Each structure stands twice: as C-alpha cells, then as structure tokens.
Structure 1
Amino acid sequence: MAKRRPSGDGMVRKRKDGRWEGRIVVGHKDNGDSIFRYISAGTQKELLRKLHQSIETYRGVDLREESGMPLSQWLDRWLEEYAVPSVRPSTLEGYRGYIERNLKPYLGDKPVGKITTEDVQQMYQELREHGRQEAHPRYGHRLAGGTIRRIHGVFHEAMDAAVREKLVAKNPAEGIALPKKQTTPKRVLNDSQLERFMEAIQEDTVWHDFFYTELTTGLRRGEICGLMWLDFDEAHGTLSIRRTVHAQKSGRLTTGETKTGTGKRTITLPPSTARLLAERKSKSYSEWIFPDPLRPERPTNPGSAYIRMKTLLKRAGLPSLRFHDLRHTFATHALAGGVDAKTLSGILGHTQASFTLDTYTHVTGDMQKRASEIVGDFMTELLGDDLRPWENGENPARAAST
C-alpha cells in the first residue's frame, strides 16, 4: 500500500515484481495538476537514495508541462527562437547540421525534461565511435574530438535555454567529460612560397586584385567577398569592414554582420593596395569591389574564391591550404615584419591582442633564420668578429680565472 513518508522522500511503494518505486512532484501543468517524476530501484534503500538525489536536483524547480516534449521538438524551437535572431547564417547552418545529423538521431525522441548527464555522456561516446555517416579516409566512422566539442557547445546552449524555460531542472550537458582539444598546426606560406603564389596570381587577370588584397589585409573570406565601393575611402586610403557574405547549401548568398563587435572596423591599406583599388574603382561598374565574374550585380561567392585559391596553389606547386590560412599567412608575416600585436589585432578584428598572438603566430624557417642572424649580429657586436678567441691558443674564461 502506497504511503507518504514524513521525511519528504516522496511516494514509495513495492511493486508486484518486487522492485521499489517512488515519485516526487517536479512541476505543474497549465491546469494546476502535478507533474511527477517516477524513480525505481531494486531495494528500498537504493530507492530512497535515488529519491533524495532527485529531491535535491528539483529543489526550488517548478517544471512546466512542456518539459514532456521530445528533445527534437525543443531543439527546433530553440533554433527558431534563440539561434536565428542571434547568430550569422553560416553559424546557424552549422547548428542545424549538428542537430539533424548528430543530436536528434540519438536523443531526439526522449522527453527533454528526462535527459540525464549519463544520456549525454553515452551519446558523445557513440558519436565518437560511430558518428560519421560516411567513412573518412583517416577517421573511418569516428568523429574527431573537435567536432564532438562543437556539438557539445550547441547542445549546451540549447539546454541552458531549456533551464531558463523551466523545461529541465539543470543542464544535463554540465560536467561532461569531453575529448581533448586537438590543435592542428596552422599552415602559412613562407617567404619563397609566398613569392611563388604572388607570381601565380600575377598571371590571373580576373582574380589577381582579390588575392593581392587578401594577402595584404588578412580579411576573413566572407569579409573580402562582402566589400562594397562605399567601404573604400580613396582619399584616405582606408577600407571599412561592415559585412560578410555567406553561401548557404542551396547556393543562395546572404549578407550579415561581421563575426564580432570588433569585426566592424576601418583599416588603413598599404599604399600599393590603396592604389590597386583606386585603379580598379575607376573601371568598375558594380557596387561590389569584387563582384561575381559572371554576374557583377552579385558579390563573389566565397566558395568560388576557395576553389580558385586551390587552383592557384596547385599551379604554383604549393601545398593545399584552407582559405583561412591566407589570413594566418598575413598575420604571421606582419608580426615577423615588426607590426605590434595590438595594431594587428585591430586590423584582424580581434577583441584582444593576446588572442592574436596565441592564434596567428607561427615560427617558420625564415623566421628562425632571421632570429639566428639577429643573435649572430648581436654577439658579433659584443665580442667582435672572432666569436671564439680561445682558438687562438687561450680560453678567455680560463685565463680570467687564473
């Protein structure tokens, strides 16, 4: 016979199959009826332990009736109500991909209010082992640790919103053990490679100006594709970065705001780039600085820029790069050339100079050579041309000690 325990353990009873079952009130429906959470265990002692744990979890929480909706329904709602108004189209497309490919197949049918940390941990483990639908040459069907972390970021945001909406008592994505972040060495073009790439673009009359501007400004791909002539101040030689262009899977191009608040910025162009754009402007009949070569009323498609870059790299006999590596190349050579981190941070649109230093500095062979020459010049100036005077017959250190 069911009974209410005075200690606040909830309703407990022994079922006909011998297991113990209890329930606690975790919220209320729109009509005022209680929403119960049922818990079972093999023994009364184990049940009471679980009940105490659940009571602490739901203390001060009054879940809404919608906590019973499937996770898939909540994720769709979160996308429309929370993500759409606040993220860029390309970011939103990534969110949708993670939700449809990874989250819904594993937990989509489970009520959002009943998802546990254990459920989430198990899901990430399954995704790590079998999350890739098509086998990858290197990873097979395994998902890389970085991908798991990005999926987690989306899910964590969605469940934070669920807590605020009183659909869950706490975020089940908290306290999850995630794969270690694997940092792939960033690739940059060294001095000789950069020279070869510049020679390759010199022969490309359609794309030369685009890639020359990229290599002398370090703009993000969407930013350079989104440049309009109203952004170029010819008199002062400056360029204002105000928007980005994104290509959706459908092929449709959309424009949006820059990646961060500091992404909106005005940069001073190198004189050669300012002259190049001024000459280009005098011959242009499009509002876009770099219009689509076939449809000048439209901006250049970021995907087309990537494909052309690959072609030029291959033509120059250079290793394959991501488009973002051109940005790395600009930043690394700028720092090596003496541009201070604070100034470079402003050019790149970063919020902090420390991020610029941590992310965009790479020691190339050319930089090591220059460093050794600097040290060599310093030691020569300090000790004279003969850096090893003891070869003349006497060790100066030993002589000094006598």
Structure 2
Amino acid sequence: MASIQKRPNGKWRARYRDSEDREHSRHFARKIDAQQWLDTVTASVIRGDYVDPKAGMVTFSQFYKSWSARQVWTHGSRDSFDLIGYGATFGDVPLLKIRRSHVETWVKAMTTAGLAPQTISNRIGLARSIFAAAIGDQLIALDPTRGVKRPRARRQEFSMQIPTGEEVKALLEATEPFFRVAIIVGAFAGLRQGEVSGLQLQDFDFLGRQLHVQRQVQRRSPHPVEIRAPKYGSERTIHLPQSVLTEVSRHLQEFGTYGDDRWILPGKQGGPIWPRQFAYRFEVAANKAGLDVTSHDLRHFFASGLIASGCDVVAVQRAMGHKSASVTLDTYSHLWPSAEERTRTAVDTIFSETLADSVRTADSKTGTDLHR
C-alpha cells in the first residue's frame, strides 16, 4: 500500500508499507519527485530486489559476524574471511552506505602496505562473497566491489621461478640428510610445504607405487600447528616411479618415523615438523647451495616436468591438487606449447605421413611394372 499526501508545510510525503507491514516514508518538495520515488520502490518489489533501507544500516563487520557464524568453514577459510570481515577499512560503515570509493580506498591501503597483487585480488574476492550474502539477505541491492580495479600482477612467465634440474640436485646435496626426503617429495611429487610436513608412513603404498595426500600441517595461533585436510579439499593420489619410492625407503631405513602417527619428518612431542622449522631447514639448504629458491618453487619444477613430458591439463590438475583445470591453466598455461605450435606440428605430421604413403604407393606401382 502506497500513498502521497501534501503536508501543512507544503512538502509532499510519500509512504508505503513493506511485506512485513512496516511503514516507510520520505518527504519531497515536489509531488513528481515523491511519485518517482514510490515508482522506484514498487518496481524493486515487483523485481524481487527490494531492500529495506533500515535493515541496511547494520555495519559491514556486524553483518559479517552474524553471517560467518552460520558458515561451515575450515579453520583456514575462517581465518582468511576474518581478515576481511574485521579488518577491512570500511568495517564500521553501514552496508547501505558503502560505496565503490570505500573499496578502492581499502585496495589502496593494502597496496601501500606492500601486499602482493594476487593477495589483494583474493581478498577482494572474499569481500565480494560477503557482499553477495548481504544482497541475498536483501540488505543491499548492489555489490560495491563491482568495477573496482585490481592491482595488476606480473604475468606468470615473468614472475614464476622454476629451478633447473642442476639446482634441485645442488639443493639435495646441500640439505641435511634427514631433510632430503622433503626435497624429494616436493620436487618429484609436487607437494605443498604443509603437505610434505603432514606425511605419515601409511600415506605411501610401496607395492602400488602411490602416494596418498590426505593432510597438511599449518600454523594456527595460539597453537604451534594445526593438522587439517589439504587446501580446497585437494586430497589426491600421486603415482610415483620406483626411483622416488627408493629414496623414501632409504630415508625410512636410515631415520625411521616419528611419534605414534609415524610422521616422516620429526617434529616436537611426537608430532609433525613445525612450519617454521621446515622453512628454516629449507632456507639453510638453499643458502648453502647458493640458490634463491623456495619450497613452493619445487612444486613448479614438478608441474613443468609433467607438462614437458606431454601431460594434459587434467592430468596436471589432478597431480597438483588444483580445485579446477582453470586454476592449472591460469598458473601454467605459458608452459604448454602454443596453439600455433601445436597446429604447426600436427600439420607437419599429417603432411609427412601423407607423403610417406604416396612414396610407398608409387614404389609399389613401380615394382609391379618392373615384373611385367
């Protein structure tokens, strides 16, 4: 129900009642403006995107607190979202009053703080999920992150650092003997640092020549470590050659396992190796080898080897534990031969086979003539 009435002071009052029978009103100097406002509200009700202006006055952080309490997240996901829900510069601003300029100011602050472009892009994506939830609850009509320009990241082919085979060998020779297995499974199985730390004896199927990636070890304050499933639910099975399994067997024979859970790398109090200890051991080995590499660079080494050997996108995706093939392509597309080169090679193969068939046919006919 909507109506327009002229007030004693000459103003025009437009009012309506929403689906919950709450009255809303505004005053205008002109009747035509009041009518346009009511028409806009009525149209939004018909479209189904009506927003109660009072409901949108809850602040961004207040909404996030109530919304996040209902989400089923891993600890890692919750930590990431908390950085946005409670750390964004517009946290105390009512949802209905957040504009694109607020988001742009936040992006500028993160850029000034030195955050990597990809990190900033990821955080904008998380903020977008929160605003989408607010839209779903009909607290706001539009997402203020729309149209916000993200910092430009360097192209993967220029920013990605892939160690050479000689550098991996140098790293293996420089590392402490007990830590050698960490380099092996990083470079030749493509495990993330947390996944390497989380390896237990039962993860290796020596007869089936497989490695089952089932957990990772991460820091989580106030506890030293947290053991949880691999990121994005990327539990996977990696098919290993005997050469890699022989190195793992050698490690087990020399150093055994640690704790009741039979961790491959020793930690403290019967648990896995801590992230800081892992990073320290790796840095010591890299410095000794004179290399500027990280444990994640070994993962790139593994992926590049698969691609160079002719593995397709899906095979690489599964081996790397990416949540989708698009993630694999976004990360490693520059390592695959270009479409032009694949076309050129395919045509060359067809051409060569066609000519070879023609030559064989001609030789066959010539041979037949000679026997006549």
- Name the TM tier (shorter chain): 0.7 to 0.9
**Which residue pairs with 1:385 in the alignment?**
none
**Which residue pairs with 1:324 in the alignment?**
296
Q: Which of 80, 85, 106 is 2:90 aligned to?
A: 106
Contact map agreement 1:218 1:348 (CA 8 A) in 2: yes
**Which residue pairs with 1:121 in the alignment?**
100
Q: Which of 150, 158, 173 is 1:179 aligned to?
A: 150
Offset at residue 178 of structure 1 (A):
3.0
Say if 2:273 is the partner of 1:300.
yes
Deviations 1:276-332 (A, max 9, x none): 223334422432433444x151112234323332332222222244x3222112111
Closer, same or farther: CA 176–26 of 1 in aligned 2, 3 Å: farther
State the alpha-carbon separation in 1 of the partners of residues 32 and 114 from structure 2: 41
**Which residue pairs with 1:257 in the alignment?**
229
Offset at residue 173 of structure 1 (A):
3.9
**Which residue pairs with 1:334 in the alignment?**
306
**Which residue pairs with 1:356 in the alignment?**
328
Offset at residue 44 of structure 1 (A):
5.4
Closer, same or farther: CA 62–56 of 1 in aligned 2, 3 Å: closer
Contact map agreement 2:44 2:50 (CA 8 A) in 1: no
Deviations 1:33-58 (A, max 9, x none): 5053x557776555554554344334
State the alpha-carbon separation in 2 of the partners of residues 206 and 187 from structure 1: 26
State the alpha-carbon separation in 2 of the partners of residues 353 and 67 from structure 1: 38
Offset at residue 63 of structure 1 (A):
6.3
- Amino acid in structure 1 at the alignment position of 2:174: A
Alignment of 1:198-277 (within 5 A): 198-201=172-175, 204-261=176-233, 263-277=234-248
State the alpha-carbon separation in 1 of the partners of residues 330 and 93 from structure 2: 42
Deviations 1:93-138 (A, max 9, x none): 1211122221xx424241x4x34xxx23011121133x24xxxxxx
- Amino acid in structure 1 at the alignment position of 2:297: D
Contact map agreement 1:245 1:255 (CA 8 A) in 2: yes
Say if 2:186 is the partner of 1:197.
no
Offset at residue 67 of structure 1 (A):
5.2
Offset at residue 25 of structure 1 (A):
3.8
Greater helix content: 2
Offset at residue 160 of structure 1 (A):
2.5
Deviations 1:193-241 (A, max 9, x none): 333323222xx12311112211110012222222222211122221111
**Which residue pairs with 1:136 in the alignment?**
none
Contact map agreement 2:12 2:29 (CA 8 A) in 1: yes
State the alpha-carbon separation in 2 of the partners of residues 123 and 305 from structure 1: 40
SS of 1:106 mapped into structure 2 = coil
More off after superposition, 331-340 vs 64-73: 64-73
Say if 2:64 is the partner of 1:90.
no
Contact map agreement 1:226 1:255 (CA 8 A) in 2: yes
Offset at residue 242 of structure 1 (A):
1.5
Contact map agreement 1:228 1:289 (CA 8 A) in 2: yes
Structure 1 spans left out of the alignment, 5+ residues: 133-138, 383-402
Offset at residue 350 of structure 1 (A):
3.0
Structure 2 spans left out of the alignment, 5+ residues: 353-372
TM-score by length of 1: 0.69
**Which residue pairs with 2:63 in the alignment?**
74
Closer, same or farther: CA 235–168 of 1 in aligned 2, 3 Å: same
Say if 2:39 is the partner of 1:56.
no
**Which residue pairs with 2:368 in the alignment?**
none
State the alpha-carbon separation in 1 of the partners of residues 57 and 44 from structure 2: 17
- Amino acid in structure 2 at the alignment position of 1:106: F
**Which residue pairs with 2:128 in the alignment?**
156
Closer, same or farther: CA 51–148 of 1 in aligned 2, 3 Å: farther
- Amino acid in structure 2 at the alignment position of 1:121: R
Closer, same or farther: CA 290–160 of 1 in aligned 2, 3 Å: same
Contact map agreement 1:128 1:143 (CA 8 A) in 2: no
Closer, same or farther: CA 223–178 of 1 in aligned 2, 3 Å: same
State the alpha-carbon separation in 2 of the partners of residues 151 and 48 from structure 1: 41
State the alpha-carbon separation in 2 of the partners of residues 55 and 285 from structure 1: 68
- Amino acid in structure 2 at the alignment position of 1:301: W
- Amino acid in structure 1 at the alignment position of 2:128: H
Contact map agreement 1:332 1:361 (CA 8 A) in 2: no
Closer, same or farther: CA 308–57 of 1 in aligned 2, 3 Å: farther
Closer, same or farther: CA 292–246 of 1 in aligned 2, 3 Å: same
**Which residue pairs with 2:358 in the alignment?**
none
Q: Which of 287, 309, 330 is 1:314 aligned to?
A: 287
Offset at residue 355 of structure 1 (A):
4.1
Say if 2:22 is the partner of 1:34.
yes
Offset at residue 12 of structure 1 (A):
6.5
Closer, same or farther: CA 124–354 of 1 in aligned 2, 3 Å: closer
Deviations 1:242-300 (A, max 9, x none): 22222113244222223335x2222222222212223334422432433444x151112
State the alpha-carbon separation in 2 of the partners of residues 362 and 272 from structure 1: 29
Report the number of matched residues: 333
SS of 1:235 mapped into structure 2 = coil
- Amino acid in structure 2 at the alignment position of 1:108: D
Closer, same or farther: CA 270–255 of 1 in aligned 2, 3 Å: same
Closer, same or farther: CA 96–268 of 1 in aligned 2, 3 Å: same
